[in-house]
Structure 1
Amino acid sequence: MKYFAGSLLFMLLSSTVSFTLNAQEVNQDNQHLFNNFTYRQGNAYRTASGKPGPEYWQNAADYNLDVTLDDKNHTVSGNVTIQYTNNSPETLDFIWIYLEQNRFTENSRGTLTTSIQGGRYSGDVEGGYTLSNVSAKTDTGVSSKYIITDTRMQLWLDKPLAANGGEVEIKMDFKFKVPVEGMDRMGRLEVKDGTIYALAQWYPRVAVFDDVVGWNTDPYLGAGEFYCEYGDYNVKITAPANLTVVCSGILQNPKEVLTKEQQERWEKAEKSDKTVYIIKPEEVGKPIAQTKTNGTLTWHFKMENTRDVAWAASKAFIWDAAKMNLGNGKTGLAQSVYPKESDGQIAWSRSTEYTKASIEFYSNNYYPYPYHNAINVAASVGGMEYPGVSFCSYQSKGSSLWSVTDHEFGHNWFPMIVGSNERRYAWMDEGFNIFINHYSTEAFNNGEFPTRSSSPRSLIGYLTSESREGIDTYPDVANPRNLAYTAYYKPAAGLYLLREYIIGHERFDNAFKSYIETWAYKHPQPNDFFNHFENVTGEDLAWFWKGWFYGNGNIDLGIVEVKPYKGNSLITLENKGEIPMPVKFQVIYTDNASEIVELPVEIWHRGNSWTHLINSTKEIKRVVLDPDKIIPDVNVLNDTWNKL
């Protein structure tokens, strides 16, 4: 006992001496910066390792759609049959269905919450659905009872739908007027040779029922995008014979809707790395581009395991295509349709080249592209994504056209493959997509175009703004001026910091690719991403998720002093910000030799001051924090020390 007491006293004294010699100053407990910040424990549905659990489930919806486009009255009418499967462990008394065309009415919640000054998400107010023959048929009976509230329909069943595989067949006829202004996601555009119809959010579709909130029934207001179940689609679109129709999925009847010449060009494009015309500019609007000169044609498309489909139609389309090389011997077809107003080598004549390069990069670097077609449509829409189809501004050209094309097709990975909830967590698709856009742009033509700014330092102006909001702010709640930062640039910069500064390329890439593969065609939540990333990288990153993704704090590392110590040197650093970070600094000696020192984030566990011993007899001339200028340090004045 005496020996133990004496030894303990000796160790305490030794520790005190060692602490003094190393000049470490403990001025506070920083545990609050490193604690977990949300309920991140696993369960049977979602594991603590960030994977779907042994009892994970999600429901499914298969669609048969048969519609007609009336280009005189600008309407779409037809019917939908939805085969809905309840894979959940509970019975369902009703089914919630989204009626997103109802956003384009005078009294919709989205219209009534749009500023009188308007904005990107303004829309027409003379639209909305006309519905008839609504029914829900189960093996026990048929129900036609429903309640419509704004952009949602609650369709009641005759008896509760059985758990673990119960099925219901939902049918209805619908009609709506295609808006001119469709919230920058769809609409009509008049060009010299006709009208371009960009059709999205065009059919009644089932809302997601999940294990987190049950029915996801957030109304369609504006900035918030979509959350959809996966299923198979069978789509028939009847349109005037002089219109070209493109749609998500694979065209089933090319011999019925394409001329013999167009079929031959199509086959050539399927084998060509160079762009091939299917409809040439000089053929637009002429009989040579049509299988028949009057009446209608029905275009038939199918797509499997997708969360949505979109389409476009016009008699003004130039149409070209080229082969996509998707890896492992798989190929697909990149396509573009655009009017003469968009033609030209500095504009849409390169659209298929851009589409091909974008899809190939993501397919070969992150996860294989699952669809055969990737179609870029020139429209009045600034930029909007759907599985296999993108709508981009017909006025875009040069680097602008590359950027919007690359961004919209990048969305095929987030959220088309990784099916996150865009309406609530825009950062899980927009931010992730901006992040991968940075690397695809670096790779395209050896950097032909400048990358979208994912440099965290470019955000300092926003990060120090009094009106800034957190990444976790819902899109429809965020100040419109902040949405680009909360949903796009700040989360992208967060991933960039993780890869380029905090974790490193190899471990980050392993985790990022594993996350995509693990949650492909499923519905991850934010905690699933956080948990999975930590488990694959082997790092507790709660301090970073909390500080960067769920807070408004900032990074401010600084150099306090550099002084000699027993023939060596001591460098004292400080953390004056709210987000701790690992520290990287460059030491430059008077003989101009230099070295890089890296310290882990754990130096801030016990306080905001840390002194590091430089074990060298050389005299230090200069010390520079973050020499590669990666982290968004809000005070650069204390990032450099120079010998006087």
Structure 2
Amino acid sequence: MRKSAAIIFAFIISQFHAQQGAYYQQAAKYKMDIDVNAEKFTYQGKQTLEYTNNSPDELNVVYFHLYWNAFKPNSMMDQRVSSQGKNGDGRLQKNGISTLSSIPKDQEGSQNIHWIKQNGKDLKFEVQETIMKVYLAESIKPNSTTIFTMDWDAVIPQQIRRSGRNNREGVDMTMTQWYPKIAEYDYDGWATFDYLGREFHAPFSDFDVTIKINKDYVVGAGGILENPTEVKGYDAAAKIKTEKDKKTTWKWTAKNILDFAWSADRDYSVESFNVPEGPKVYLVYQKNDKTKAWGESQPYITKYFQIMNNHFGKYVYPTYAFIQGGDGGMEYGMCTMILGEAKNIKDLMGLMAHEGSHSWYQQMLATNESVRPWMDEGFTSYAEGYTMYQLFPEQLPNPFIERLNAYRNFVKKGIEEPAVWLGDHHDNGTAYTYASYVKGELYLVQLGYIMGEQNLAETLKQYYDQWSMKHPSDRDFLHIAQKVSGMDLKWFHNYWINTTKTIDYGIKDVKYDDKSTTITLINKGQVPMPIDFSVMTKDKKVVTYQIPLNMTHTWKEKDIYGEFKTMPYWAWTQKEYTITVPYNKSQLSALGIDFSQRIADVNPEDNFVEVK
């Protein structure tokens, strides 16, 4: 190649990589008018959507999610649950049979699109169950904005999962995934996964929502109520304004959130209080004997937000609502829908802490949870465990020991599936739970063990600082973790997320001499790890020796679980490692691998020796 041609080619390649690496995110502004027929559990909807294409690509089609179309017999969700049998999501089954298959015709979910226009021009569209493909009248060029208008009606489905009418706790309407929502578009293309009951992905959006509903209803939502003096439940001096048909109009706004959700019931009570330095918290629930724990929750919720703000980054929105939705728990923008009934305050706070933590790991740090559910559910579970340990202190080796033990027991069943799998494509419902919730949580626990808890805390803070209100990926998180720790961590990420290989170290042999003790350690597992090996003397002094793993190339310098002496590294290809400590048998009371009990060793029984 001639020199001039080579220079031009190199320039083109450099520009391609520069463009490939440029970050962007789409933006949307919704204005919706909703008229609810509470007696028939239907509503009429009108929507204006201002959509901005910040990508470098020219868009000729757009996609919308129509989630409620899944709630009917023979839908893809029904087919998936039916084909999995007892291995599927138990919340969608009864005795191993899909509950979707028996929804009465008049209670099937539906979102019927009457028409959609772009800048006033009618558009052709086709509905592919929970996905609507829209062919544009004019392409949306990079860095330009277009206006969609839409008219539709919907049937609120029988509540099977998250959304719906008349749930078992007596809540009339849980309005989640309830409107035609534009899909996310990013470097990976359109996020058009069919809705099968699990996760979501969406662009950050602004919402202006007007809801007309019978005057005796109270509405809870994730957003700012703009007319609290005109509606029921939010202002003792409210003068409820009704129209001729006896309906009240509720006006809600929200900025820069992923989703707008609301719920309505005639028996809701509303309580509110301010967390120092924010947010203002709303409790929207039915007061009765089964929900007494809600009345005890204020001091715990206050402390919860303070811990989260301090350790994981500040909650950026002005309000947050815990709403009794009647089916498990599911996070949305500035609110969560959760079960109202709870045995005690600890059970209730466990649910609130998990769903509240999704405001960090799904809302503000908006990963694509359909593709990487372990970053969504796993990081959230870690935050839940971290905060609950401080809200309800226990004498445990670490806050995550129960989750570690659950993981060990599950691995022995032999049905584990890799965390890298797409959320809705796991073959076993329990395997999905462990891949996403448990292994995602233990991903952070293991990183804390590998690089030190201080480095993990700093990584989480920098992750928030750099990526809040954006759509990060696992690559972005790993980049920060490596930068903070100075370690190469790609090996761990690959083993833990992309495989089901396990950690299994042990003490093979102990030999006592007059002035020292020699211990032979063995790696019986498939995942190599650095090892913290400790001895306890008869006078209860603990001395820890750090045995680094060669693949990290930089060694852990400190850890809140104690100081240590650094030994020569253990090569990942080497099965055994010998260490000699300057204590004889009469001086020792115990020795072992990881006194902090953080390492996810699947057979920890041979990690400790009591010296007698």
Relative to the length of structure 1, the TM-score reads 0.80
Structure-2 residue corresponding to 1:629:
597
Question: Given the alignment, which residue of 136, 145, 149 partners 2:124?
Answer: 145
The alignment partner of 1:491 has SS state of helix
Query: Does structure 1 residue 573 correspond to structure 2 residue 555?
Result: no
C-alpha separation in 1, matches of 2:159 and 2:320: 24
Residues 299 and 206 of structure 1, relative CA distance in 2, 3 Å threshold: same
Residues 45 and 364 of structure 1, relative CA distance in 2, 3 Å threshold: farther
Q: Quote how far apart the aligned CAs of 1:215 are.
A: 1.1
Query: Is the contact between residue 30 and residue 47 of structure 2 (CA under 8 Å) also seen in structure 1?
Result: yes
Query: Does structure 1 residue 255 correspond to structure 2 residue 236?
Result: no
In the TM superposition, what are the counterparts of 1:39-78 in structure 2 within 5 Å? 44=18, 55-78=22-45
Structure-2 residue corresponding to 1:134:
116
Question: Given the alignment, which residue of 479, 484, 487 partners 2:436?
Answer: 487
Query: Is the contact between residue 128 and residue 176 of structure 1 (CA under 8 Å) also seen in structure 2?
Result: yes
Structure-2 residue corresponding to 1:201:
177
Structure-2 residue corresponding to 1:496:
445
The alignment partner of 1:409 has SS state of helix
The alignment partner of 1:543 has SS state of helix
Question: Given the alignment, which residue of 491, 510, 523 partners 1:562?
Answer: 510
Structure-2 residue corresponding to 1:402:
349
1:231-263, CA deviations, whole angstroms, 9 ceiling, x for partnerless residues? 211111111111111221111122322589525
Query: Does structure 1 residue 389 correspond to structure 2 residue 335?
Result: yes
The alignment partner of 1:587 has SS state of strand
Question: Given the alignment, which residue of 512, 536, 541 partners 2:489?
Answer: 541
In the TM superposition, what are the counterparts of 1:156-195 in structure 2 within 5 Å? 156-163=135-142, 165-183=143-161, 185-189=162-166, 195=171
Structure-1 residue corresponding to 2:500:
552
In structure 2, give the amino acid aligned to 1:547: Y
Q: Quote how far apart the aligned CAs of 1:446 are.
A: 5.1
Q: Quote how far apart the aligned CAs of 1:217 are.
A: 1.1
1:255-293, CA deviations, whole angstroms, 9 ceiling, x for partnerless residues? 3225895259xxxxxxxxxxxxxxxxxxxxxxxx96669
1:420-467, CA deviations, whole angstroms, 9 ceiling, x for partnerless residues? 111121111100001011111122265699977654233111123211
C-alpha separation in 2, matches of 1:382 and 1:546: 32
Q: Quote how far apart the aligned CAs of 1:634 are.
A: 2.4
C-alpha separation in 2, matches of 1:435 and 1:496: 8
The alignment partner of 1:220 has SS state of coil
* 5+ residue gaps, structure 2: 1-15, 93-98, 551-569
The alignment partner of 2:132 has SS state of strand
Query: Is the contact between residue 259 and residue 290 of structure 1 (CA under 8 Å) also seen in structure 2?
Result: no
Question: Given the alignment, which residue of 50, 73, 85 partners 1:106?
Answer: 73
C-alpha separation in 2, matches of 1:230 and 1:463: 38
Q: Which has the larger radius of gyration?
A: 1
C-alpha separation in 1, matches of 2:431 and 2:384: 20
Q: Quote how far apart the aligned CAs of 1:530 are.
A: 1.8
C-alpha separation in 2, matches of 1:541 and 1:355: 35
In structure 2, give the amino acid aligned to 1:627: F
Q: Which has the higher contact order (CA 8 A, sep 6+)?
A: 1
Relative to the length of structure 2, the TM-score reads 0.84
Number of paired residues? 558
C-alpha separation in 2, matches of 1:238 and 1:620: 77
Query: Is the contact between residue 410 and residue 436 of structure 1 (CA under 8 Å) also seen in structure 2?
Result: yes
In structure 1, give the amino acid aligned to 2:181: R
* 5+ residue gaps, structure 1: 1-41, 47-52, 265-288
Query: Does structure 1 residue 432 correspond to structure 2 residue 363?
Result: no
C-alpha separation in 1, matches of 2:90 and 2:129: 21
Structure-2 residue corresponding to 1:444:
391
The alignment partner of 1:363 has SS state of helix
The alignment partner of 1:481 has SS state of helix
State the identity as a percent.
28
Q: Quote how far apart the aligned CAs of 1:638 are.
A: 2.8
The alignment partner of 2:465 has SS state of helix
In the TM superposition, what are the counterparts of 1:91-490 in structure 2 within 5 Å? 91-115=58-82, 119-121=90-92, 122-123=99-100, 124=103, 126-137=108-119, 142-163=121-142, 165-183=143-161, 185-189=162-166, 195-211=171-187, 213-223=188-198, 225-258=199-232, 262=236, 295-326=246-277, 331-341=278-288, 345=292, 347-398=293-344, 399-444=346-391, 455-478=403-426, 479-490=428-439
1:273-324, CA deviations, whole angstroms, 9 ceiling, x for partnerless residues? xxxxxxxxxxxxxxxx966697111111111111111011111112111111
RMSD, aligned α-carbons: 2.9
Residues 352 and 564 of structure 1, relative CA distance in 2, 3 Å threshold: closer
C-alpha separation in 2, matches of 1:104 and 1:634: 40
1:132-159, CA deviations, whole angstroms, 9 ceiling, x for partnerless residues? 121122xxx7241111111111111123
The alignment partner of 2:480 has SS state of helix
C-alpha separation in 1, matches of 2:584 and 2:390: 44
